[in-house]
């Protein structure tokens, strides 16, 4: 394939992109239009939980495409029924609404919480969220996010999202008032720099919300579907939230997300929630294949072991080069640099030859690692070998 920057002119500009086109992917590897291979430790920002071209996903897509793609969400379809049943059987939730993106799922969670507040708490609508959080790119989910600078980007914001400090219960308590209906957080703040909420904080937050009659919403768009070694991240703390959102990994690379809730919270009426593509059988069939793969005996235990291995290798590298350590859970990790050269390292890694390395720097002082959940130890070792000389310079 021939490519020049002029070929991308019809695309709306939203960010700078390198002058390459990816044309093929297998497992942890991508190949560009020139034939160069790249070891992928981004995987579409934790989207491709089974890597590129996984046989179960390819088979689900091709088989379902030959049967039924979309009868409209006004009717039931077999894959969405099967996926909803599987998710409820493997979680503490009773009901599922399917959408296409994590932002849609989080928007739905906000709507559901506000509707519940209208019905059960005299119109309470405020949802306490956290500094450093990321919940999506719609106006409401951007307002809910605590990403620096977003409060003025598309002002005015949607009101009703006071910001607390992660792992600081007193900061949450200080924001609770008569208009508070819920607390919403990511178990691990991914875009915020891979900052985990401690198990003790999650447990205390669950107790506090129960005592105050508030809903607890966990945004597991990035952490859900096995990313940290359990099917859902909140399970590490042994808590049961009222609402959970899923995205990214649930579709293994295709646009699929989900809003899950306890029965007592489900108060939508006809017309309150919907979407042209919600629960379409083509995407839901992939979701079934992903869930079946993740819940197969031994799979999640191996993810946890791989996460420990990746964490140990990053700590060794940090100690060797005098960096500032690593943090995260499972296969969502960050390496803390000694300066703010993260973006430069990302570019240098991509430009390595003969094989490149794909990394992510959500903050200038750190690198984030989100490999496929079936990455191999050899591939982790290869990534460390490629990264070491870049950081040693």
248 is catalytic: yes
Closest CA to 310 of 364, 371, 360, 253: 371
**Cβ contacts of 330 within 8 Å, gap of 6 or more:** 226, 227, 228, 229, 230, 303, 304, 307
Q: Which of 219, 232, 242, 313 is catalytic?
A: 219
Q: Which of 134, 161, 201, 369 is catalytic?
A: 134
Q: Which of 248, 268, 313, 369 is catalytic?
A: 248
CA separation (Å) from 50 to 296, 299, 304? 13, 11, 15
- Token pair listed for 289: 């294949």
151 is catalytic: no
The angle formed by the CA atoms of residues 31, 37 and 41, to the nearest 5 degrees, is 95
CA separation (Å) from 157 to 148, 150, 160, 256, 327? 13, 9, 9, 27, 32
Beta pairing partners, 180: 126
Query: Which strands sit side by side in the sheet containing 355-358, from one edge to the other?
Result: 22-26, 29-32, 37-40, 355-358
Known catalytic residues? 134, 219, 248
């Amino acid at each position: 394939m021939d490519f020049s920057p002029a070929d991308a002119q019809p695309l709306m500009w939203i960010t700078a992109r390198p002058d390459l086109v990816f044309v093929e992917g297998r497992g942890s590897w991508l190949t560009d239009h020139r034939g160069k291979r790249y070891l992928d430790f981004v995987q579409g920002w934790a989207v491709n939980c089974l890597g590129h071209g996984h046989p179960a996903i390819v088979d689900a897509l091709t088989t379902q495409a030959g049967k039924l793609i979309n009868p409209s969400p006004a009717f039931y379809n077999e894959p969405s029924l099967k996926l909803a049943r599987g998710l409820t059987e493997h979680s503490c939730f009773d009901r599922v609404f399917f959408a296409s993106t994590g932002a849609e799922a989080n928007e739905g969670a906000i709507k559901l919480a506000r509707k519940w507040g209208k019905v059960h708490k005299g119109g309470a609508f405020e949802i306490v969220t956290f500094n450093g959080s990321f919940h999506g790119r719609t106006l409401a989910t951007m307002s809910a996010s605590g990403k620096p600078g977003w409060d003025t980007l598309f002002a005015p914001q949607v009101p009703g999202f006071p910001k607390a400090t992660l792992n600081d219960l007193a900061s949450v308590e200080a924001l609770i008032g008569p208009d508070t209906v819920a607390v919403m957080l990511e178990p691990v703040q991914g875009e915020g720099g891979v900052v985990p909420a401690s198990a003790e904080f999650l447990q205390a937050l669950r107790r506090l919300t129960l005592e105050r009659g508030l809903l607890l919403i966990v945004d597991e768009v990035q952490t859900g579907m096995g990313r940290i070694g359990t099917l859902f991240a909140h399970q590490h703390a042994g808590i049961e939230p009222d609402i959970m959102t899923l995205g990214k990994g649930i579709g293994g690379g295709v646009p699929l997300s989900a809003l899950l809730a306890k029965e007592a919270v489900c108060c939508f009426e006809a017309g309150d929630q919907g979407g042209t593509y919600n629960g379409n059988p083509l995407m839901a069939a992939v979701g079934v294949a992903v869930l079946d793969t993740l819940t197969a005996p031994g799979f999640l235990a191996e993810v946890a072991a791989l996460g420990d291995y990746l964490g140990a290798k990053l700590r060794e590298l940090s100690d060797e080069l005098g960096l500032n350590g690593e943090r995260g859970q499972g296969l969502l990790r960050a390496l803390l640099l000694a300066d703010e050269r993260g973006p430069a390292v990302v570019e240098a890694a991509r430009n390595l030859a003969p094989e490149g390395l794909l990394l992510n720097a959500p903050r200038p002082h750190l690198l984030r690692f989100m490999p496929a959940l079936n990455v191999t130890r050899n591939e982790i070792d290869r990534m460390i070998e490629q990264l070491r000389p870049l950081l040693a310079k």
